[in-house]
């Protein structure tokens, strides 16, 4: 496979167990959730209509799209590894993210292949240390 994109480092500069952490958002605003609704096209009212979210759906408030957290978490990966170098990126949505939450993502190298493939595990946690998104990514870097 050819290396695509604009790698920031070579696979040989990484080792299994290397980690990188980033604060993704502090005190998440409803405004950002609305920005994400508009940009993504996901207008499920549970993410922006407080009356619907609380009265009809029984949640304590609106909550962020899981994809907003996945998108923010992706920043850690691309800031670390480079632009357009990811080959796979997948997450499970573990817990809701609420307005006012502060999120931190942590990525850990779990494997490095001889061809420059780097496997990463990624977890994003809220201010209470609870994981909200957990997943993995694979990047192809120059060896």
Partner 1 sequence: MSEPEYEFPVDRTAILTFAAAIGETNPIYWSASHAKSTPLGDVIAPPTFGVSSAHWNPNYGLRGTRKIPPRVEAPQPTETKARSGGGGGSLARVLHGEQRFAYHKPMQPGMKLRVTTRPGKAWEKEGKKGGKLKFTETITEYHDASGDLVLVATSVGVLTEKAVEQ
The footprint of partner 1 (CB under 8 A) covers 4-6, 24-25, 32, 35-46, 49, 51-60, 65-68, 70-72, 74-75, 77-79, 83-84, 86-93, 95-96
Read off the DSSP letter of residue 8. S
Q: Which is nearer to partner 1, 17 or 30 (CB)?
A: 30
Give the nearest distance from C-beta 13 to partner 1 in angstroms: 18
Read off the DSSP letter of residue 60. S
Tokens 């850690």 belong to: 76
Cα 15–chain centre separation:
22
* End-to-end alpha carbon distance in the chain: 12
Give the nearest distance from C-beta 119 to partner 1 in angstroms: 14
d(CA 110, CA 67): 24
Q: Which is nearer to partner 1, 39 or 111 (CB)?
A: 39
Give the nearest distance from C-beta 57 to partner 1 in angstroms: 3
């Amino acid at each position: 496979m050819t290396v695509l994109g604009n790698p920031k480092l070579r696979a040989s500069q990484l080792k299994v167990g290397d980690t990188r952490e980033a604060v993704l958002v502090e005190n998440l605003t409803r405004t950002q959730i609305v920005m994400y609704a508009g940009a993504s096209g996901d207008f499920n009212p549970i993410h922006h209509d407080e009356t619907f979210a609380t009265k009809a759906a029984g949640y304590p408030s609106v909550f962020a799209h899981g994809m907003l957290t996945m998108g923010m978490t992706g920043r850690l990966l691309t800031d670390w590894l480079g632009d357009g170098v990811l080959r796979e990126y997948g997450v499970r949505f573990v817990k809701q993210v609420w307005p006012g939450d502060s999120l931190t993502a942590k990525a850990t190298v779990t494997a490095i292949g001889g061809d420059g493939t780097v496997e990463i595990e990624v977890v994003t946690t809220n201010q209470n240390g609870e994981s909200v998104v957990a997943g993995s990514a694979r990047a192809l870097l120059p060896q």
